[in-house]
């Protein structure tokens, strides 16, 4: 039986715990540690074991999920290092390398992952990397845990997580921005704010759902709805002419570069 302990009971921990419970994981096998009692109250009401003592929670578990803000990871890891032997550690902290975490914990079994905000509604996309000491059974355990908040994708090279950060980690904000500017464009055409919101959100949802459900590529789907000389063609011509492809390539490249810089601090 796998027993889990979450270090930090904030947004990400609560999202993963919620998904695990929905998937039938037993609340009695989950511990959550956080310095703030009020943060633990909701989890306690769900039957989760709660404590303000990180060492106590770690000692009870086989798998520890580090879900504190990145600047807290080092002191937390050094604090729990004395009881870390033989356990698997999964970190969701952005920018903290598996090498740093392993050395602070004095334990080599580390899975580093990069989830994204839609995890909070179980529609997340998580990129994962396992250090060489992680067994295939431990990797499967990590996969089951992160699958509770959406889809997972493993990478052989830890450096790939910088590109993952630039694409799916920061990606929700790119789509939020597109939704935002499309709503403004709709309002500029005389539609109300409420109507613009509904039209744009349902269109974004429908387009994403269609792209997921079909084997057609996004390019093929676009071509299918673009009649020569039609309305869509008129709009796409402007997007192409103004360089949307280059804008996105440069934006994602800038995010990757920033992720690399933050990991090296």
Ligand X SMILES: NC(=O)c1ccc[n+]([C@@H]2O[C@H](COP(=O)([O-])OP(=O)(O)OC[C@H]3O[C@@H](n4cnc5c(N)ncnc54)[C@H](OP(=O)(O)O)[C@@H]3O)[C@@H](O)[C@H]2O)c1
Q: Which is nearer to ligand X, 62 or 74 (CB)?
A: 74
108 binds ligand X (CB under 6 A): no
Q: Which is nearer to ligand X, 36 or 211 (CB)?
A: 36
**Residue of 61, 94, 105, 148 that binds ligand X (CB under 6 A):** 94
138 binds ligand X (CB under 6 A): no
**How many chain residues touch ligand X (CB under 6 A)?**
26
116 binds ligand X (CB under 6 A): yes
Least Å distance, CB 204 to ligand X, is 19
Least Å distance, CB 240 to ligand X, is 32
Least Å distance, CB 175 to ligand X, is 14
The distance in angstroms from the start CA to the end CA of the chain is: 38
Burial letters for 134-171: b for 16+ Cβ neighbours within 10 Å, e otherwise? beeebeebbbebbbbbbebebbeeeeebbbbbbbbbbb
72 binds ligand X (CB under 6 A): yes
**Residue of 16, 43, 93, 255 that binds ligand X (CB under 6 A):** 93
Q: For residues 259 and 89, give the distance between their C-alpha atoms in angstroms, rounded to a whole number.
A: 22
Backbone phi and psi for residue 141, each to the nearest 5 degrees, phi listed first:
-60, -45
Q: Which is nearer to ligand X, 141 or 169 (CB)?
A: 169
**Which DSSP state fits 249?**
H
Length of the chain as a residue count: 265
Q: For residues 254 and 265, give the distance between their C-alpha atoms in angstroms, rounded to a whole number.
A: 17
18 binds ligand X (CB under 6 A): no
**Residue of 10, 74, 155, 174 that binds ligand X (CB under 6 A):** 10
2: how many CB neighbours lie within 10 A of its CB?
A: 15
Q: Give the CB-nearest residue to ligand X.
A: 10
- Calculate the alpha carbon distances from 153 to 31, 120, 143, 168 in Å: 26, 18, 9, 11
Q: Which is nearer to ligand X, 57 or 88 (CB)?
A: 57
Q: For residues 151 and 128, give the distance between their C-alpha atoms in angstroms, rounded to a whole number.
A: 11
- In sequence order, what are the beta bridge partners of 31? 5, 49
Binding mask 26-55 for ligand X (x = CB under 6 A): -------xxxx--x--------------x-
Q: Both tokens of residue 146? A: 């992160």
Binding mask 220-239 for ligand X (x = CB under 6 A): --------------------
Query: Residue numbers of the site for ligand X (CB under 6 A)?
Result: 7-13, 33-36, 39, 54, 67-70, 72, 76, 92-94, 115-117, 119
């Amino acid at each position: 039986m796998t027993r889990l302990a979450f270090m930090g009971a904030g947004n990400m921990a609560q999202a993963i715990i919620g998904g695990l419970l929905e998937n039938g994981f037993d609340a009695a096998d989950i511990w959550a540690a956080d310095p703030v009692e009020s943060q633990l109250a909701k989890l306690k009401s769900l039957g989760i074991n709660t404590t303000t003592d990180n060492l106590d929670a770690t000692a009870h578990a086989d798998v520890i999920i580090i879900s504190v803000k990145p600047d807290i990871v080092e002191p937390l890891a050094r604090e729990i290092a004395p009881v870390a032997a033989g356990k698997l550690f999964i970190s969701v902290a952005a920018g903290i390398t598996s090498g740093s975490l392993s050395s602070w914990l004095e334990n080599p079994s580390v899975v580093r992952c990069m989830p994204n905000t839609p995890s909070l509604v179980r529609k997340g996309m998580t990129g994962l990397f396992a250090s060489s000491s992680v067994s295939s059974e431990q990797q499967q355990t990590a996969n089951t845990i992160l699958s509770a908040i959406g889809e997972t994708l493993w990478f052989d090279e830890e450096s790939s997580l910088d590109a993952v950060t630039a694409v799916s980690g920061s990606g929700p904000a790119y789509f939020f921005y597109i939704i935002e500017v499309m709503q403004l464009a709709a309002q500029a055409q005389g539609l109300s704010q409420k109507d613009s919101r509904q039209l744009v959100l349902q269109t974004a949802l429908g387009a994403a759902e269609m792209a997921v459900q079909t084997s057609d590529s996004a390019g093929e789907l676009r071509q299918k709805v673009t009649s020569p000389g039609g309305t869509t063609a008129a709009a796409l011509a402007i997007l192409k002419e103004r360089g949307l492809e280059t804008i996105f390539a440069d934006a994602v490249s800038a995010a990757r570069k920033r992720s690399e810089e933050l990991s090296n601090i």
